[in-house]
């Protein structure tokens, strides 16, 4: 009995840190995971929250967006993003697929938004847009240095035309009527001018 009590006392007196299994160390994030996190910040910080100041932490100063016909600088790229957020204030971009290989991160994304903001001279249309695209970024030292993006712009045009066809048709009819009225007025002016000139010639 004494032996049992002594053994029980020893077990109780063992410090909890020694009694429990030591916690397994948390593995450090891999470079690929870190690059993916940088890529996600573009969508979360800039497009979702509209925090354009975060661009200094996300993009390298010498960033280049490689377009089909010409390259764009960081200033031009951010100006385009600001325009998109102005025209589509509720713009959200969902990451459908993200993968990383060495210093490259590829993202398949879907953008959705409603045109409730003016686009220059054009008023808001209320049209809803959905677009899927793919972006490849080259990330070095925790910052995006290069970008290649592709998406179907014709799909956006088709969506706008489908939603605005009756408005566009009405605008076209109005334009035809205005041109017809202008043509009649011009014709009357020309006939009146000719009638004044004709007697003097005879």
pTM of the model: 0.67
Residue 187 resides in a domain: no
- CATH number of the domain residue 57 falls in: 3.10.450.50
Residue 40 resides in a domain: yes
Flag the least confident range among 7-11, 55-59, 82-86, 173-177: 7-11
Q: Is-contact 35 103, C-beta < 8 A? A: yes
Residue 128 resides in a domain: yes
Does the CA dihedral 80-85-87-91 come out positive or negative?
positive
Q: Is-contact 22 30, C-beta < 8 A? A: no
Q: Is-contact 95 110, C-beta < 8 A? A: no
Residue 150 resides in a domain: yes
Residue 7 resides in a domain: no
Domain containing 122: what range? 30-178
Residue 167 resides in a domain: yes
Q: C-alpha angle 115/46/113, rounded to 5°?
A: 20
Tokens coding 150: 């592709």
How high is the pLDDT of residue 17?
Answer: 46
Residue 58 resides in a domain: yes
Q: Please list, in sequence order, all residues whose beta carbon lies within 8 angstroms of the beta carbon of residue 76, skipping any fewer than 6 positions away.
A: 65
Q: Is-contact 47 91, C-beta < 8 A? A: yes
How many domains, in total, are found in the chain? 1
Residue-wise pLDDT tens digits, 145-179: 999 999 987 777 777 777 665 565 566 667 777 78
Q: In whole angstroms, what is the distance from residue 56 CA to residue 105 CA?
A: 19
Average pLDDT rounded to a whole number, residues 92-98: 95
Q: In whole angstroms, what is the distance from residue 154 CA to residue 89 CA?
A: 21
- Calculate the CA 77 to chain-centre distance: 11
Residue 194 resides in a domain: no
Tokens coding 25: 């160390």
How high is the pLDDT of residue 166?
Answer: 52
How high is the pLDDT of residue 148?
Answer: 98
């Amino acid at each position: 009995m004494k032996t049992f009590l002594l053994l029980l006392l020893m077990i109780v007196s063992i410090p909890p840190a020694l009694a429990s299994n030591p916690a397994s160390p948390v593995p450090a994030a891999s470079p690929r995971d870190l690059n993916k996190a940088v890529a996600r910040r573009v969508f979360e910080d800039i497009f979702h929250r509209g925090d354009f100041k975060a661009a200094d932490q996300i993009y390298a100063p010498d960033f280049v967006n490689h377009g089909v016909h010409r390259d764009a600088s960081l200033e031009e790229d951010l100006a385009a993003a600001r325009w998109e957020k102005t025209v589509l204030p509720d713009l959200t971009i969902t990451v459908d697929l993200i993968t990383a290989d060495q210093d490259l991160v590829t993202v398949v994304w879907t953008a959705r938004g409603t045109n409730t903001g003016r686009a220059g001279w054009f008023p808001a249309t209320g049209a809803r847009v959905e677009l899927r695209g793919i972006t490849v970024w080259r990330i070095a030292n925790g910052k995006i240095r290069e970008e290649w993006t592709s998406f179907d712009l014709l799909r956006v045009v088709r969506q706008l035309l489908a939603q605005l066809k009756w408005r566009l048709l009405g605008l076209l009819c109005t334009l035809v009527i205005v041109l017809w009225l202008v043509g009649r007025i011009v014709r009357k002016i020309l006939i009146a001018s000719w009638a004044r000139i004709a007697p003097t010639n005879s």
